[in-house]
């Protein structure tokens, strides 16, 4: 019987991802985070505290071999993985589709879709082999709507969301649970700092939702799609979770 719960947060060094890491640590997980950038690793360490049970592993998620090595390193060390959360992507702003340089398209595709493909290939495969565990993909409102001058982000986010739904569909013959969470409002992060708006969902609260979902404490645990309408909606769900779990 496994005692320690193991989570992998892909994108855990990002503005949203660090909130997910924080919430899972609070629930007693050991958290693995793939990182490419030394500054972002230091920023995450500073946020969660030097003693936090976080393992930073260098990996470019756009490289399938590196993602497979990451999976193997974690499984060799821990024997299993309980939860994988994907909050990975790069932002693009400024060109309409017909004017977008080809190199920008290729980079956007690599960071937003090849990464997601590689992560699911290694980690959904692992969870299926174990025949247990949860796989969670996060997306923003652009997955369902078009925003001026960042249309390509809608294409990427919609594809990420559909990839999660396809994986969930294919998981019918296993005990693996797959979720697509869409926060239909912006997320307040430390990196956005002064741009944050009080109506936005704090990254830590989104993390609390993820932690409650994988623990089976929010409504709809048998549904793939979880839509968080706004901050009030999330606050109401988290209040109810706290009432029920103490
Ligand atoms: N409502 C919302 O707005 C909302 C809600 C949920 C999710 N999302 C989506 O969640 C994602 C993260 O958002 P964010 O604000 O946290 O962005 P962010 O701060 O830029 O973080 C992006 C993360 O993805 C990682 N990443 C990107 N390409 C990578 C690659 N090739 N290899 C390894 N890591 C890679 C980055 O790693 P480095 O630190 O190494 O750069 C970073 O950890 C975005 O795609 C966003 O659209 C948005």
User: Strand, coil or helix: what is 174?
Assistant: coil
pLDDT band at 2 (very low <50, low <70, confident <90, very high): low
- Domains of the chain in start order, with CATH, are 6-241 (3.40.50.720)
- CA nearest 178: which of 231, 235, 116? 116
pLDDT averaged over every residue in the chain: 96
- C-beta separation of 186 from 215 below 8 A: no
- What does the pLDDT average to over 192-202? 91
Average pLDDT estimate for 126-137: 98
Cα–ligand 1 centroid distance for 85 (angstroms)? 12
- Confirm or reject: Cβ of 66 under 6 Å from ligand 1: no
Compute how many other C-beta atoms are within 10 angstroms of the C-beta atom of residue 60: 16
CA of 200 to the centre of ligand 1 (A): 17
Give me the mean pLDDT over the 67-90 stretch.
98
Confidence of residue 56 (pLDDT cuts 50, 70, 90): very high
pLDDT at 246: 78
Q: Is 234 in the pocket of ligand 1 (CB under 6 A)?
A: no
Pocket test for ligand 1, best of 12, 16, 140 (most atoms within 8 A of CB): 16
**Ligand 1 geometric centre to CA of 80 (Å):** 25
CA of 13, closest atom in ligand 1: 43
Q: How far is the CA of 243 from the centre of ligand 1 (A)?
A: 32
**Of 138, 115, 116, residue with least CA distance to 201:** 138
- pTM beyond 0.85, yes or no: yes
pLDDT for the residue 193: 83
Evaluate: CB of 207 within 6 angstroms of ligand 1. no
Look-up of token digits 């799609």: 225
Residue 238 pLDDT > 70: yes
Tell me the two tokens of residue 11. Answer: 């994108």
Closest by CA position to 23, among listed 149, 195, 211, 179: 211
What does 93-160 look like in DSSP terms, one character per residue? -S--GGG--HHHHHHHHIIIIIHHHHHHHHHHHHHHHHT--EEEEEE-GGGTS--TT-HHHHHHHHHH
Residue 168 has pLDDT above 60, yes or no: yes
CB burial of 72-109 (b: ≥16 within 10 Å; e: otherwise) equals: eebbeebebbbbbbbbbbeebeeeeeeeeeeeeeeebb
Q: What is the pLDDT of residue 1?
A: 55
pLDDT of residue 155: 97
User: Span 98-116, mean pLDDT?
Assistant: 97
pLDDT of residue 194: 83
């Amino acid at each position: 019987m496994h005692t320690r719960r193991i989570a992998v947060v892909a994108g855990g060094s990002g503005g949203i991802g660090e909130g997910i890491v924080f919430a899972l640590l609070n629930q007693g997980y050991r958290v693995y985070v793939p990182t490419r950038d030394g500054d972002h690793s230091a920023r995450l360490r500073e946020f969660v505290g030097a003693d936090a049970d976080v393992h930073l592993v260098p990996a470019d998620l756009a490289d399938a071999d590196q993602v497979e090595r990451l999976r193997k390193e974690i499984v060799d060390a821990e024997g299993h993985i309980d939860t994988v959360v994907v909050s990975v992507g790069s932002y693009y702003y400024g060109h309409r589709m017909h004017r977008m340089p080809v190199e920008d398209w290729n980079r956007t595709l690599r960071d937003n879709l090849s990464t997601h493909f590689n992560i699911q290939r290694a980690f959904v495969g692992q969870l299926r082999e174990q025949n247990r565990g949860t796989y969670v993909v996060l997306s923003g409102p652009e997955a369902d709507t078009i925003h001026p001058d960042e249309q390509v982000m809608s294409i990427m986010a919609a594809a990420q969301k559909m990839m999660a739904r396809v994986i969930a569909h294919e998981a019918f013959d296993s005990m693996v649970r797959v979720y697509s969470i869409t926060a239909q409002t912006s997320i307040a992060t430390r990196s956005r700092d002064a741009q944050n708006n009080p109506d936005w969902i704090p990254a830590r609260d989104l993390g609390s939702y993820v932690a409650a979902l994988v623990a089976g404490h929010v409504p709809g645990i048998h549904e793939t799609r979880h839509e968080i309408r706004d901050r009030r909606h999330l606050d109401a769900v988290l209040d109810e979770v706290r009432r029920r779990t103490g």
